[in-house]
Amino acid sequence: MDTDTDTAELRLLKAAEELFDERGVQAVGMDAIRTASGVSLKRLYQLFPSKDHLVWAVLNRRDGAVREAIAAYGAVHATTPYERVLAVFDYLGEWFADPGFRGCAFINTFGEMGGISPDVADIARGHKQALRGYFAEQTAALGAPGELADQLALLANGAMVVAGIDGSPEPAARARDAAKTLLDTALQG
């Protein structure tokens, strides 16, 4: 792609992501995205032939960013698999404390469109499976039972939902405490 295309596409993705986070996917029209991005409607539809294409692209971009951020956070703040598991919840706490936090984009978008858009359902499932996979890598390195990764993923996703509803970072700390209890119990047995 040329620089002009990259710039227009990136502006559209950033504008759409911000608007979707603030208002929800279904409440945002393509004209609002055009206005917020400063990209012409013709160019918008050249890059994203439908809103579904744009939603998928926003989620795909976010998926990569979140996966990288979790891995990077763990690499910087933890040296062992045990610490990397707990670091996920510390990362969540920082994310939940951000004034722009409105909940998990994958959970929110799945709630709005998962039943009518197989693409949204697939990318949301894939994203959540990746989080579970990250926990599975860490718990396998500890020699912990396989189901522990599922339990940790439930804690993380539950914290995301509650933090989005409550508007508080506290669910991350509570989920971290529960994760520590699960880890300690699994490693004692």
> How much is the mean pLDDT over the chain?
94
Which numeric CATH code is attached to 1-49?
1.10.10.60
Question: What local confidence, expressed as pLDDT, does residue 2 receive?
Answer: 42
Report the first-to-last Cα separation within the chain, whole angstroms: 54
**For 148-168, how does the pLDDT look when each residue is reduced to its tens digit (9 = 90+)?**
999 999 999 999 999 999 999
Question: What local confidence, expressed as pLDDT, does residue 114 receive?
Answer: 85
Using 50, 70 and 90 to split pLDDT, how confident is the model at 115?
Answer: confident
Identity (one letter) of the amino acid at 168?
S
**For 48-93, how does the pLDDT look when each residue is reduced to its tens digit (9 = 90+)?**
999 999 999 999 999 999 999 999 999 999 999 999 999 999 999 9
Question: What local confidence, expressed as pLDDT, does residue 1 receive?
Answer: 41
Task: Decide: helix, strand or coil at residue 35.
Answer: helix
CATH assignment of 51-188, among 3.90.550.10, 3.40.50.1970, 1.10.357.10, 3.30.870.10: 1.10.357.10
The 10 Å Cβ neighbour count of residue 2 is: 6
Per-residue pLDDT averaged across 6-20, rounded? Answer: 94
Question: What local confidence, expressed as pLDDT, does residue 3 receive?
Answer: 52
Question: What local confidence, expressed as pLDDT, does residue 33 receive?
Answer: 97
Alpha helices in 78-169 (DSSP H): 81-97, 105-113, 118-142, 147-166
Helix axes 147-166, 81-97, angle to 10 degrees: 10
Helix and strand counts by DSSP (H, E) for the chain: 9, 0
Listed by start position, the domains of the chain span 1-49, 51-188
pTM, 2 dp: 0.91
Using 50, 70 and 90 to split pLDDT, how confident is the model at 104?
Answer: very high
